[in-house]
Structure formats: structure tokens, C-alpha cells
Amino acid sequence: MSISNKTVIITGAAGGLGSALVKAYLELDYNVVANGLNITNLEVMAARLENPNNLLLIQGDIGKPETSKKLFDKAIQHFNKVDILINNAGIFIAKPTTDYTEEEINTIINTNLKGFIYPSQAAANHMINSGSGHIINITASIAIQPNAKLPALLPVLVKGGINQATRALALELSPSNIQVNAIAPGVIDTPLHTINNRQDKESLAKMSPMEKIGNPQDIVDAALYLTKSKFVTGTTIAVDGGASAGVW
């Protein structure tokens, strides 16, 4: 197996933003450890990329601590160390507060909240010993600036908390030369936002003052900037066409 100099772990890697991030880091000759809940989806993603030797697929529920342990154990076993963790796994359920079910509440807590905490713990433990590293959290623009047109209490609650936790973790880990940042996407053209027709596209485009829908490359560009940076930590970059800038 070919081993390059840098290794990144990406959660929620099978589709949408995750697969775009996997592709981008592979193209930069990183070793990539890709995590997802469904191994078939991971294998399909890997096949599209022609199954490179420096791509390692790890199936598992990121809301469980044993999955994070397995991710880092396998990454170190195969590639010696981990330089970057991208906490990308997440689900987005927007509906009136009164309509959330117990199952939906538990799912968001398990995937979005625990799926941030457990990998970040594992990354901190490994990177403190290494003396460097990057943690990037994919959050949500609507957690910065809620929108009355799109009630989404649970994403705002959890992703907004992660935006603040990004700052706290950056302060905590800065003495170990670990940078912690977040990216807050607006509406991006991925399976998370089903765009069935022209009317859907126009409606979603109006969620930003630029009246545009972003694409996964916009998020990839932000991630690559953050992982190349030497002096940026504790920040959340909104990639949302201005949606979090205020009221328009």
C-alpha cells in the first residue's frame, strides 16, 4: 500500500459533501480514511474513484465511541498518523418544533452531536501526542442566522452548539499546535437538499441574498484553505451566499 505524508479522516464520506472531500484530498495525495454507516455506499464511492490504494473504508455508526476508536486505530495501523479530522457526518431535518418526533430527536443527537464529540475526543488524544493537527467541523449556516421561513430548531440547536464548541476546542488545543475550525454551509446541491425541479431550485436559491445554490466544491475549497492555513483557528467560515449575513 502506498503511504503518503498526510492522512485525513472524513466522516459521512459516502456521498454529497463527503465524497467530494474524499476526492479532493486524494487528488492532493493524502491518505484518506472514509467513514460511513453503509459499507455498500462507501464501496460505490470508492469504485467511482477507481479504488485507490491510499483510500481506506471504515464502516460504522459515528455516534458510537467504538467507531471513532476503530477509525483512529485503523488509520494509524495503515498510515502511521492522522493529520486532519473532518467531522462531516450529519443529517438535516427542518420542520416546525412541535412536529419533531422522539426518533428524529435521537437521530440528530446521535449523528450530529455524538458524531462530533467522539471523533473529536479521539483526534485530540492522538494529535496532542503528535504535536499538531487540524479538526474541521461541518455545521450549518442556519445555525448562525436562523430563518423564519425555514424552522429548524434541532439543526440550529446542535450545529449552533458545535460552532461555539469549535471556539472552545480551539482554545483548549492551541497549546498543542492543533487548529480547530468549522465550515457552515448554506444550501448546497447535494442529496441532503433534494432538488426535483426548477421550482424547487428557485425556492432554495432564494435562501441566500445572492439567489444561488452552492456546490460541493465551494465547501471543498474552504476545507482546503483551512487545512493549509497555519494561523487560523477557532473560526467558523460561512459558505452560504450571504445567508447568514443578516436579513434581506
Domain locations along the chain: 7-239
* Average pLDDT for 190-215: 77
Phi-psi region of 208 (alpha: psi -120 to 50; beta: other; left: phi over 0): beta
Which residue type occupies 176? S
| Residues recorded for the chain | 248
Residues 41-67: tens digit of each pLDDT:
999 999 999 999 999 999 999 999 999
Residues 140-194: tens digit of each pLDDT:
999 999 999 899 999 999 999 999 999 999 999 999 999 999 999 999 988 655 5
What is the C-alpha R_g of the chain? 17
Under the banding of pLDDT at 50, 70 and 90, the label for residue 135 is very high
Under the banding of pLDDT at 50, 70 and 90, the label for residue 2 is very low
Half-sphere exposure of 197 (CA within 13 A, CB side): 1
3 or 76, greater pLDDT: 76
Distance of CA 221 to the CA centre of its chain: 13
Specify whether the CB–CB gap between 91 and 108 falls below 8 A: yes
**Range list of H helices, 131-230:** 153-173, 198-205, 216-228
Query: Could you say which DSSP state residue 231 is in?
Result: S
Q: What are phi and psi of 233, to 5 degrees?
A: -155, 150
Q: Which CATH superfamily is domain 7-239 in?
A: NAD(P)-binding Rossmann-like Domain (3.40.50.720)
